[in-house]
Amino acid sequence: MESDETRYSRPMAGSHVADKIQKEAFWVMKKIGEVKDGLVNRYRSKIRERAITQAKVKIALSQKPFEDFTEDEIEIVVRAEEDNVKTSLKQSAAVALLIALGLS
């Protein structure tokens, strides 16, 4: 009969396969993370672009020359517009989901 030390120190049958599966799973998770990060960055970029466009309109309608705004004031307006865009997208997604479920 073999000792516990001998039994647990030798590689188990199929451990090579398990290591390979673990490495593949790690690689897949890494790729999923990269894709997710890319999508999130693209999503944030589009929201920022839309917010900047809306902020330009808001500033133009303020009847105050653009040059009179400080960089901080412009950033505040853009951030407020980003919040508006995000809220609008969330509401649209909720309505689309309700329509898809037939609950509207």
At residue 17, the pLDDT reads 82
Q: 70-101, pLDDT tens digit by residue?
A: 999 999 999 999 999 999 999 999 999 888 88
Q: How far is residue 101 from each of residues 20, 66, 89, 97, 98, measured CA to CA in Å? A: 42, 46, 18, 6, 5
pLDDT in tens, 25-61: 889 899 998 999 999 999 999 999 999 999 999 999 9
| Boundaries of every domain in the chain | 12-101
Q: What is the structure's pLDDT at 19?
A: 86
Taking the C-alpha atoms of residue 50 and residue 44, their distance in angstroms, rounded to an integer, is: 10
DSSP characters for 20-83? HHHHHHHHHHHHHHHHHHHHHHHHHHHHHHHHHHHHHHHHHHTTS-GGGS-HHHHHHHHHHHHH
pLDDT score for 56 = 92
Give residue 10's pLDDT. 53
